[in-house]
Amino acid sequence: MSVAVTRLPELKPTNSYEVVDPPLAHPRLREIAQDILNEFKASVFRVGLGMSLPTERTSWEQLVRERMERAPAEVRARVSQRLKNVYDNPQLRARELGRFAELDLTHPSVLLNVQPPRAQRAALRQLAQLFKAQGSLAFHPEVQLERASGTDLRPQDYLHTRVRFMLDKVYCVDETWLDWPGSDEIGMGGFSVDETGEVEKIAAFTVSNDFDTGETRDFKPDKSVRTFSVKEGGENWPKVYRVTLAMVERDWGDFPGWVTSLYEKVKGRLKEYLATAAAGVGGAIGGPLGALVGAVAGWVVGWIVDNIIGWIKSWWEDDLIATKTFTLTHAGPRATFSGQARSPVAKRSWIGGTGEYNTFSYWELLK
């Protein structure tokens, strides 16, 4: 499949930009993302209510079961009761699950056979035309794009060859549990996505074993969370890099590893969803629709994963404080941050449960 690429004319210097938690603005994309989110929710109800599950390890249910089994018994019991209260109420069930509320969720393979709604199949054909005309939505609006055919770049054309995401410090605004005697044990971890869509786990690391209100964990030297090579993905510019981090007070068992698997599952499901929809309108996973998948997959998948994490946090991940996705649009092989190799240090607020923390982070370009 031949896909047009973007390239900056004459390799002139330009600016790169960081975006935190970019919104999913297009209403039809939100409909697609919401439907996949509801599919995940349905799997949680099936697992939590003890329904018969499929044996396929790649199913939603097995992914959910893996995480729920790591929760303490009292948490699982509380969640099961809450799920039952919602499931037994037709109005609440419809609000949580959308069209999945109408399915017989007791059937073991019910979610293995789900197809996109007919109305969304037609909408996807229109989306393909829309994105073919307007290009990718995944880039910062101030980055100027120019459609052209790619040619080989020479080593000297690259001002920098790597970019990395750095954590400067973490400040405890208010420790969890209302300053109850004892200190917070705070950890972080997550996953990254490069310009090719490759997902890599960010192993959990300890921020502090003894965090109290008003204290700062100042990394010395600053912590390198993930480094990317800008030479991957060919000469498709700009290049988009994502780092998703979760902050937890204590971990029931490798949350970063689980959320990495979650991302891979959502990404695969979205591709299946779009391929099925394309077949439903007489198309194929190529041409304009194939370009659509590549252009928006990271954005849509990120939105779904963030909302899944937010939803399960409200149900049973009591020790998960918050998650954040940091996105860099690297504009070109000679792009900088207004002439600097480092972006401005960005302060982000993390609020969850009864705790609040601030992180200070930046992106850095390397030779």
Q: Which secondary structure element, helix H or strand E, spans residue 299, and what is its range?
A: helix 287-315
On whether the CB atoms of residues 277 and 121 are closer than 8 A, the answer is yes
Residue whose tokens read 């990317």: 228
Least confidently predicted of 10-14, 21-25, 216-220, 303-307: 10-14
Q: What angle do CA 172, 204, 140 make, to 5 degrees?
A: 75
H helices present in the chain, as ranges: 27-48, 60-68, 73-87, 90-97, 118-134, 255-280, 287-315
Q: How confident is the model at residue 366 (pLDDT cuts 50, 70, 90)?
A: very high
pLDDT > 70? residue 130: no
pTM: 0.78
Out of 53-67, 160-174, 348-362, least confident range: 348-362
Q: Where are the domains of the chain?
A: 1-24+137-251+319-367
Q: Rounded distance, CA 338 to CA 299, Å?
A: 25
**C-alpha 341: how far from its chain's center?**
26
- The region of weakest confidence among 134-138, 246-250, 317-321 is 134-138
Residue 147 has pLDDT above 70, yes or no: no
- Residue 97: what pLDDT? 96
Pairing of strands 162-174, 216-229: antiparallel
Top pLDDT among 81 and 322 is at 81
* Tens-place pLDDT, residues 82-95: 999 999 999 999 99
Residue with token string 């697992």: 47
Number of H helices, E strands in the chain: 7, 11
Residue 10 has pLDDT above 50, yes or no: no
Residue type, 273: Y
CB 248 within 8 A of CB 188: yes
